[in-house]
Amino acid sequence: MEPYELTVAGAAEAVRARRLSPVELVESVLDRIEQVQPRLGAYVSVTADRARRSARRAAEEIAAGGATGPLHGIPAGLKDLIDVAGTATSASSRVRVDHRARADSTVAARLSAAGAVFVGKTHTHEFAYGLTTPQTANAWDRSRVAGGSSGGSAVAVAARAATFALGTDTGGSIRVPASLNGVVGLKPTYGLVPRHGVTSLSWSLDHVGPITRTVEDAALVLASLVGHDPRDPASVAPPPGDYRPGPGTDLTGLRVGVPGNYYFDHVHPDVEAAVRGAIARLEALGARLVDVEIPMTRYIRATQWGLMVPEASAYHERTLRAVPDLYSADVRVLLEAGELVTAGDYLRAQRARTLVRRAWLDMMDMDAVDVIAAPTVPMTAVDAGQTAVTWGDGTVESVSDAYVRLSAPANVTGVPSLTVPVGLDPQGLPIGMQLMGRPFGEAAVLRAGHAYERTGTARDLVPAA
C-alpha cells in the first residue's frame, strides 16, 4: 500500500509509530495529485512548497515530542471558499482573480494547530452556487458530474489525492459530491463548526464539514473543528462528548427512522434498493426500525430557495453591480433573480423554516428516533451536460433540483447529516445513504455509519486509478 492510500486513522497510526514520516506521506500525496489532476481537475491550486515546509516542521515536532494528535502531519485539501493566510480564495470565480487572504479562517487555523498539512485548494462550483462543479470530473467516470458544490474536495478524497478535505454545505454541497464519488461526507449541526473566514453562500444555511474515506476519519476531523467562535454569530459551544465511534458494530438501542414519504419518492430503483438493503443491515446490527412520516414536505424546497437566493444576492450585491460579466452565466442569473425576492417573501421563508424545524424535531420526539436513514441523492452521477431527469411517472426535474431535494431538509432544519457509501449501481457508480440525527446528535449518526461501514458491505470502494 502506498502512503497516499492510507486513511486519516491509518496514516495517524503509522506516523505515531514512526513507521511513516509526514514528509513521506505528503510527498506521496503530492505525487498522486500530479498523477490524477490533469484528468480530474480536483484542485484550483496546489501549494506543494508550503506543504513540504509544513511536513518537515511536523516531522521535526514529532521527532522531538511525538505526534500531538491524529491530524499531525496529515495532508488535507480545503475547498476554495476557506481562507488560508497568504493564499488565494478564488471561489473558482474570475471575480476573485486578485484575492489573497490576510488571515486564516477559523477552521484553517484549527487544522493548522492540530498539525494538518494543506496541500491545496479544491474546486467549487462558482461561489458554491451549484450542484455539479463543472471544472471537476467524477472520480469514477470522467464523463459524469462530480457533484457540487464541494466537488473538488470529494474527488480529491475519492482519488486519494488528499487524505481528507473540507467542504461546505448549504443545500447538500458536502453530501451530494461525497455520495456521487463514493466517500463519506458530514454536514454537522448548524453552528457547531465556525464559519469565520469562509466565503458565504447563504449565512442562515451554510455549514463547514469534513469529507473523508471512512466514518472514523470524519469523526477525527470533526473533533478538531468544533468550538465556539464569537466571530461567527451562529457559532455555539459543543455539548460535551466524544465523536469517535467505538470499535464494535452492535447498534442495540439505536432507533432508526425509515421515511414512508418524501425520501423514496422519485428515486432511481437502483438507489432505493441499495439504501433499503443498507437499512436492513442496520437492523441486523441491532437497530430498531421505526416508520416515520416526514412533516411539511411541500414547504422544504420553497423554504430552502427562499432563504438561499436572497441571501446570496445580498452577499454579492456590490460585485454583481461592479463586475457582472465576470460571473458565469448560471450563477449570474441566480444572483440577479435573487434581487427580485421581496422582503416579505424572505421573512415568510424564515418563518417557514422555523415551523419546518419545529415539526421535524416534534416528529423525532414523537416517534422516539435517534437517526433517520434515507438516500442521500435520488440518482447516481449523471452525464456532464445533462440538465434534466425524467422519472418513471413522466415527471421532469432539473438535475440540480433532483440532487438538492433529499439533502436540503437537513440544512433547513440544521440537523446533522452523514452520507456513507452503500454500494455501486449497474454502471459502477457509487450510491450513498444519508443518516440524519437530532441537533448535536453527531455521535449517533457517526455510530450508525461506522457500524454499517465495518460490516464490509461497501468498504474500500476505490475508483480506477
The set of catalytic residues is 79, 149, 173
Beta carbons of 137 and 150 less than 8 angstroms apart? no
Q: What DSSP designation does 81 have?
A: T
What count of other Cβ atoms lies within 10 Å of the Cβ of residue 354?
Answer: 12
How far from the centroid of its chain's Cα atoms is residue 283's Cα? 26
Q: Which residues contact 74 (CB under 8 A, 6 or more apart)?
A: 8, 11, 12, 15, 22, 25, 115, 116, 117, 163, 164
Cell representation of residue 133: 462543479
Q: What DSSP designation does 6 have?
A: -
- What are the DSSP calls for 129-154, one per residue? --SS-TTSB-SS-TTBB--SSSHHHH
Beta carbons of 89 and 199 less than 8 angstroms apart? yes
* Helix spans in 288-441 (H): 300-315, 317-322, 329-338, 343-366, 399-405, 408-413
Beta carbons of 133 and 147 less than 8 angstroms apart? yes
Q: Give Cα separations from 211 to 220, 250, 460 (angstroms).
A: 11, 25, 15
What count of other Cβ atoms lies within 10 Å of the Cβ of residue 35?
Answer: 15
